[in-house]
Structure 1
């Protein structure tokens, strides 16, 4: 009680001194009448961001002090043509408003004022999108193939590679290339019914008085009680009908994929918030994690600091572009092929694997010389890579050995971590939580989770998945996204395997997807059939946008921004340990049980802090020191009390009533109205698969 009283007294005096100093705002901020500082972009935006509304006082409804977007929004003039879409409709980055944009000396200016590296000029690929970078070029060289009548040139090595590079696909024509082998038939998933001819339909369509199989086998033998056999496949309640059956869920749960019940989460079901979400009295309060700032217009959480760069691989080399698609440059022209990518943002190191050769290279994104360094070779077919930025580890998949592997970032001490997988295609890590994720394709496609040491394996997705080719993590919301090239969809699921949802369905730009990345409020993917890099809302697939057109064989995607690899205390192992000093991976000792160990600065071990554990006993010396401190503070408190008593006994002066305006502090969280549950037809879906009707 003495310590508490002393702290309150100290807080009162110190707060008076601090509050007496006049508040100051930076040059990019606006000061409200009550002294609060808000970003300039929030001034005259139609929202009362100051408690007293002073940010909207001198604004007129039809006048914008900065730049007015086409949809009527208002942004600061400094935000115009900064390669970041501040307007909801992106009108602040259109060429008509950014006509004064000047390209650098080593860049070429397209007809629409987009800037791209000179190395893309006359390379046989329409990188501008309007052909201006391929206009007035010389005839094709001997080792190049002409694309008529476009006048483009593509390398002859790309002929008959299964990917059309000419605008009309002449390089893959029947007169040049033999017919492609037929694809293998699909195997029905566990929740599906297999028709007599091999066709797959949802099991709930069986015995529903509607013929769905071509041979009518789904309506045969419908007189039995399906609920008596394995509860009809239902996770909770099975209701037998006169013809067929249906699954049901208890209150507070919802039905997923016709057979599985899971607890409802209104925040994830409605997808109103970009990151943090709280459902209170029918409304949603949104917020952003550290390192992000909420957009006052869209409510989307924007990363602070430098502009994020989207790096992607292609047959023309590794290239990068900003999220607005306006700055398009080359990272390395020698790393050719749509191989997997991974990045370490701390030193901006990029890792790339050569397709089909099993070699992993490292390259720096900074500096004048960007010579690639060979780290590993002879690995087989590498389709996915990921970097653990906390423990400095590199993970990759190997389809030849059917495994997920790990090595140090310098390429040393590599080893197999998880074996027995069916064509692993992708891998991702969340080292702060100690999670390792991977995707498997083939006859038994799935997405799994394990610890960073490969232990505690857990399946996340096993049904309604065909060919997952890439995965990406939305770490602020603890969601995993994957793109399925077989179903032509982009879906998401929680790190615990719950709250699955399809966010992007086939829209003409998902016929042959390959790469996937999640950043801020959007998902980004590469598409080989249309040779594009696209983006859409990570919530529902709206706001479809082509970031880059005419990309030759686009492959893996990865965003480079410090906020995507935050520092912090990581879980060490699979039992919730947190190390007070350092967590060191013990993965390369050759033992059959890889692990993580806590070490002290002297090299010892076993100094471990467990979550939810009791505090260790303190020594007698510590308690003696605390006792002396309490005595000293008690004496100081007595002096303060004596001073206060003397002040109270003084003759009273004419009191001056000080009107302290105690205003309610503005809550930065956005409130949005509750949204009703989405509905969809049972059968009117892609491939007649009820992938996710939530």
Structure 2
């Protein structure tokens, strides 16, 4: 007994130690040495959160150890706050002032500001050094990243780390194409890219008012009036601008490119963006510093010769700030600086006074400006009137202002920019793969790719559910489907995608997930319809059919307003919206649209962004103020999809096969990664899906599907009970009943529901042949049984005749062979009685198809 207790004790100790050793934390968590899991944001925050101080063992390149052994981030050095108990050493402050993504102002106090605030026409430094030419040059220098060479390949420009599986795979993932240099000559290293149009069904025919771009173009058809208009609208083939005789530019774009048949307007000349593919619109441009500049008449002095502006405070300060000496002899006379009219009563100025041109000039303190009526008085500046001042919220005070952030975000050290805590992942679909880009670490990884590299796997729309960590995408090829995969498990490479929708779906493109109500919306560009699926119970409904003149593309959903929005680049291009139940449909925007493509929603500002592939613009429309403006007017890209988070837009570009990051206020652009035919983009982060929104269907009693109603309806109710296609709602407002023609449809669907998704697409003649074969086999079995029973009967008769005086009676148990092809009651509620017990590991749920049938879908 004693040895048994000792053995149990030893086993328990081993189990505890093993469990601690093999313990793993969830994503966005840090594993302490004692086995405890803490949020990743608490790692190296200067506090012992683990209990064993293991979370404060930090990378010294990013942290600083105070003399009292306290550990702080280097970004917290010299920020005006005493993070070390004895404050920081001034020498250390000079050496370790700002982090790699920050800029140090020139004069005291030497504050650190984010490099994203450089050269944005706002003085974020008190001395304005963040707007100097040197500062503007800094933002054009790419950030150098460090890669783990054991698992990553570093691009030659040192801007990105990519997984080694992408090295020499025939597709350029580095913006400098260095991952495809010096590759061995093999079939696997050759490019196998295939355009989207090659996968479009051969039966695709353009309408009479459209021009066919050819099989090699990612856009099969364009408007006929775009033919020979000086703008390439057929990607890859450029067929719309070939064989154009007597090429001339239109009046709105009068300038022709040098070597190509393309045109640009006067505003595009020397604007810093190459609108011609040969860059001829940016050639022979004079130095911007030589242009006639306009100085601020209230705050700046214009130098005479070098055509620059300096602050009034630097005039007559005995320093040649202009370089030509004009600031020390205003009006051409040096004696003008000797007359000090500000000595008497401050020159009657309310705040500041300086000498200028033989008279005084009144100036104001920061936060104030000269009154346009009385130049001696100063009035408060409403900084909040400028939407570029703060990332989120702005509060104006007398002579000042304060930026504030929405819940969950934190303020950066420049006190203007609001940032989300933790790593941000950019999910994007591309030819043959689903990928993610870690924006902070500049790592690019594969989430899913078919094992067969030659398969025509083409995902397009992409979205996610942060709570469950599930990723969804619309699959164009090899089989039109809507697919789900677990974001965490996909890292192990052992996760197989789960098909959510595969029947009555032809060309799914747009995808949007409502994380509050658990609804998945998608658009089908072939059927020109929008449908919805409840991912919890598998119930499905076609919400709207748009007609033959429409071409529905991108789709987004706003759970707060319970509305969905989509782009339509058909005969009459427009952006529309409606309630999630398919009611209250409205045209939101129709002016100035040609090919509205990607669509994105900023849920914190109710801003709707879209990119137009034809006009090359990115625009935004506010759902509250109804104001519209252009973010980028001359986009050198064929924008396909777009997303927004924090201060940034993320765009997939078909022309250059890249994903671009664009500042949503200034329009500044940065290439993030190269990718073969990038499709959908989505920023994966907890704050990208706000949870403080009411669930309208929380207490619903609908038999089939609960869909929220639009908040714009008068006397609205929160939700409506919806029935599947080919069914109608009974008078109780909750129960559905199929139409008379649906009984046969559903029995066939249920009888074939055990087939795998690909098997369900077999030819109807094959099904009929199988049924006939089964009937024949059953008939043969019955005939055999009849013959056996007859022969047994003859034997008994003969035996009875032989042994008449001693009869024996045999009692036979009749074994019935029952074959049930299907069993279904026309009333939909009876289907639930046939479901397996919920205690099974894998159960089946009925899913109504939009063609009226029901499939049984496996759930975990």
TM-score, structure 1 length as denominator? Answer: 0.56
CA deviations on 1:10-46 (whole Å, 9 max, x unpaired) are: xxxxxxxxxxxxxxx996269xxxxxxx995764455
- Aligned-pair distance for 1:153? 1.4
Q: 5+ residue gaps in structure 1?
A: 1-24, 31-37, 75-83, 145-151, 164-173, 188-196, 203-211, 213-264, 599-694
Distance of 2:602 and 2:581 partners within structure 1: 22
1:563 equivalent to 2:687? Answer yes
Q: What residue is the counterpart of 2:13 in the other structure?
A: none
Distance of 1:340 and 1:179 partners within structure 2: 15
CA deviations on 1:261-282 (whole Å, 9 max, x unpaired) are: xxxx995863322122345568
Q: What residue is the counterpart of 1:126 in the other structure?
A: 172
Q: Is the 8 A contact 1:376 1:411 kept in 2?
A: no
- Aligned-pair distance for 1:566? 2.3
The 1:86–1:59 alpha-carbon spacing in structure 2 relative to 1, beyond 3 Å, is: farther
Structure 2 SS opposite 1:129: coil
Structure 1 SS opposite 2:484: strand
Q: Is the 8 A contact 1:434 1:571 kept in 2?
A: no
The 1:278–1:589 alpha-carbon spacing in structure 2 relative to 1, beyond 3 Å, is: farther
Q: What residue is the counterpart of 1:547 in the other structure?
A: 672
1:317 equivalent to 2:433? Answer yes
- Equivalent residues, number: 454
Structure (1 or 2) with the greater helix fraction:
2
Distance of 1:479 and 1:414 partners within structure 2: 29
Structure 2 SS opposite 1:313: strand
Q: Is the 8 A contact 1:391 1:585 kept in 2?
A: no
- Aligned-pair distance for 1:379? 1.1
CA deviations on 1:595-639 (whole Å, 9 max, x unpaired) are: xx99xxxxxxxxxxxxxxxxxxxxxxxxxxxxxxxxxxxxxxxxx
Out of 615, 630, 653, the residue aligned to residue 502 of structure 1 is 630
Q: Is the 8 A contact 2:524 2:552 kept in 1?
A: yes
TM-score, structure 2 length as denominator? Answer: 0.46
Q: 5+ residue gaps in structure 2?
A: 1-41, 48-70, 107-113, 119-137, 201-212, 227-247, 254-264, 266-381, 451-455, 697-707, 735-860
Distance of 1:460 and 1:399 partners within structure 2: 20
Q: What residue is the counterpart of 1:535 in the other structure?
A: 661
Q: What residue is the counterpart of 1:353 in the other structure?
A: 474
Distance of 1:156 and 1:324 partners within structure 2: 29
- Aligned-pair distance for 1:436? 1.6
Distance of 1:157 and 1:179 partners within structure 2: 9
Structure 2 SS opposite 1:329: strand
Q: Is the 8 A contact 2:74 2:99 kept in 1?
A: no
Structure 2 SS opposite 1:133: helix
Structure 2 SS opposite 1:119: helix
Distance of 2:249 and 2:411 partners within structure 1: 50
What RMSD over aligned residues (CA atoms) do the two structures have, in Å? 4.6
The 1:434–1:137 alpha-carbon spacing in structure 2 relative to 1, beyond 3 Å, is: same
- Aligned-pair distance for 1:448? 2.0
Structure 1 SS opposite 2:601: strand
Structure 2 SS opposite 1:380: coil
Q: What residue is the counterpart of 2:391 in the other structure?
A: 274
Out of 424, 437, 448, the residue aligned to residue 332 of structure 1 is 448
Structure 2 SS opposite 1:405: strand
- Aligned-pair distance for 1:387? 0.5
Distance of 1:524 and 1:324 partners within structure 2: 15
Q: Is the 8 A contact 1:70 1:91 kept in 2?
A: no
- Aligned-pair distance for 1:285? 3.6
The 1:273–1:54 alpha-carbon spacing in structure 2 relative to 1, beyond 3 Å, is: farther
Taking the TM superposition and a 5 Å limit, the aligned residue runs for 1:198-347 are 270-279=387-396, 285-297=402-414, 299-304=416-421, 306-324=422-440, 326-334=442-450, 336-337=457-458, 339-347=460-468
CA deviations on 1:318-338 (whole Å, 9 max, x unpaired) are: 111022471011111128325
Out of 183, 188, 191, the residue aligned to residue 154 of structure 1 is 191
Q: What residue is the counterpart of 2:819 in the other structure?
A: none
- Aligned-pair distance for 1:124? 0.5
Q: What residue is the counterpart of 2:486 in the other structure?
A: 364
Structure with the larger RCO, 1 or 2 (CA within 8 Å, 6+ apart): 1
Q: What residue is the counterpart of 2:583 in the other structure?
A: 455
The 1:57–1:406 alpha-carbon spacing in structure 2 relative to 1, beyond 3 Å, is: same
Q: Is the 8 A contact 1:434 1:570 kept in 2?
A: no
Q: What residue is the counterpart of 1:402 in the other structure?
A: 528
1:587 equivalent to 2:587? Answer no
* Structure 1, 109-118 or 451-460: larger mean CA deviation: 109-118
The 1:515–1:160 alpha-carbon spacing in structure 2 relative to 1, beyond 3 Å, is: closer
Q: Is the 8 A contact 1:315 1:336 kept in 2?
A: yes
Q: Is the 8 A contact 1:124 1:154 kept in 2?
A: yes
- Aligned-pair distance for 1:161? 4.8
Q: Is the 8 A contact 1:337 1:354 kept in 2?
A: yes
Taking the TM superposition and a 5 Å limit, the aligned residue runs for 1:432-511 are 432-496=560-624, 498-508=626-636, 510=637
Distance of 2:72 and 2:586 partners within structure 1: 45
The 1:135–1:299 alpha-carbon spacing in structure 2 relative to 1, beyond 3 Å, is: same
- Aligned-pair distance for 1:160? 8.7
Distance of 1:450 and 1:524 partners within structure 2: 25
The 1:119–1:568 alpha-carbon spacing in structure 2 relative to 1, beyond 3 Å, is: same
Q: What residue is the counterpart of 2:96 in the other structure?
A: 64
Q: What residue is the counterpart of 1:628 in the other structure?
A: none
Q: Higher Cα Rg: structure 1 or 2? A: 2
Q: Is the 8 A contact 1:345 1:561 kept in 2?
A: yes
Taking the TM superposition and a 5 Å limit, the aligned residue runs for 1:621-632 are none
Q: Is the 8 A contact 2:410 2:419 kept in 1?
A: yes
Structure 2 SS opposite 1:563: helix
